[in-house]
């Protein structure tokens, strides 16, 4: 979709795992927020429900998919919604959806990123361990 055809949406009616505003240090040479900043925040946001479900430390084992749908700008308020979508023996897979709220004088919400990541439950020695029953 081109920039002038961005479809405004509503924020999901649930609590975000993370909400943060990128700073000028987070931009790429073109002036948009650097994709690696968004990836780091997505990893942090996804780890929160994974950690709660695992009831122990977790490590990211895979980024299964990652789509940057729209650029993010300095001053956008960026919300990361993370939800466990499947649980295996030692792994937990989480969907993360990212929305930007722009232009406080004329507010608009845009979905900017979708990602799916898998985390592995770890024991205190860093070895994989079974996810406990829910």
Ligand X SMILES: CC(C)(COP(=O)(O)OP(=O)(O)OC[C@H]1O[C@@H](n2cnc3c(N)ncnc32)[C@H](O)[C@@H]1OP(=O)(O)O)[C@@H](O)C(=O)NCCC(=O)NCCS
Site of interaction with ligand X (CB under 6 A):
59-62, 64, 88-91, 118, 120, 128
Least separation in angstroms between CB 48 and ligand X: 15
Contacts of 62 (CB under 8 A, 6+ apart): 117, 118
Least separation in angstroms between CB 71 and ligand X: 25
* 117 burial type by CB count under 10 A (0-12 exposed, 13-18 middle, 19+ buried): buried
By C-beta, is 82 or 110 nearer to ligand X? Answer: 82
By C-beta, is 59 or 108 nearer to ligand X? Answer: 59
Least separation in angstroms between CB 64 and ligand X: 6
Least separation in angstroms between CB 125 and ligand X: 10
Q: How open is the CA angle 68-102-5, to the nearest 5 degrees?
A: 60
By C-beta, is 59 or 85 nearer to ligand X? Answer: 59
Q: Of 16, 94, 98, nearest to 60 (Cα)?
A: 94
**Residue closest to ligand X, measured at CB:** 88
């Amino acid at each position: 979709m081109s920039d002038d055809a961005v479809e405004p949406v509503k924020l999901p009616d649930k609590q975000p795992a993370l909400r943060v505003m990128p700073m000028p240090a987070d931009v790429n040479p073109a002036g948009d927020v650097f994709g690696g900043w968004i990836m780091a925040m997505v990893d942090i946001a996804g780890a929160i429900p994974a950690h709660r479900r695992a009831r122990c430390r977790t490590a990211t084992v895979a980024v299964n998919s990652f789509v940057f749908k729209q650029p993010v700008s300095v001053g956008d308020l960026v919300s990361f919604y993370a939800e466990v979508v499947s649980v295996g023996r030692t792994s937990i897979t989480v969907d993360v959806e990212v929305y930007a709220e722009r232009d406080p004088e004329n507010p608009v919400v845009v979905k900017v990123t979708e990602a799916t990541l898998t985390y592995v439950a770890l024991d205190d020695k860093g070895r994989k361990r079974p996810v406990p029953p829910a």
